Amino acid sequence: MFDFVKSIFNGGVLDEEGPVIVVFYATYCPFCVRFEAILREYLPKIEYNISKADITDDDNPLWDEYAINAVPTLIAFKHGKIIARKDSPRGVGLNEEDLRSFISSISNY
Q: Read off the CATH number of the domain in which 82 is found.
A: 3.40.30.10
Q: For 4-24, how does the pLDDT look when each residue is reduced to its tens digit (9 = 90+)? A: 787 888 877 888 888 999 999
pLDDT at 55: 97
Highest mean pLDDT among 3-7, 35-39, 42-46: 35-39
In a domain, residue 109? The reply is: no
Structural domain for 12, as ranges: 7-104
Total structural domains within the chain: 1
What's this model's pTM, rounded to 2 decimal places? 0.92
Q: How far is CA 55 from CA 2, 22, 59, 93, in A?
A: 13, 12, 8, 16
Cα dihedral sign, 34-28-74-79: negative
- The mean pLDDT of 17-44, rounded to a whole number, is 95
In a domain, residue 79? The reply is: yes
Q: How far apart are CA 54 and CA 47, in angstroms?
A: 22
Average pLDDT, the chain: 93
Q: How far apart are CA 53 and CA 104, in angstroms?
A: 22
Q: How far is CA 9 from CA 5, 15, 64, 91, in A?
A: 10, 11, 15, 25
Of the pLDDT bands very low, low, confident and very high (cuts 50, 70, 90), residue 41 is: very high
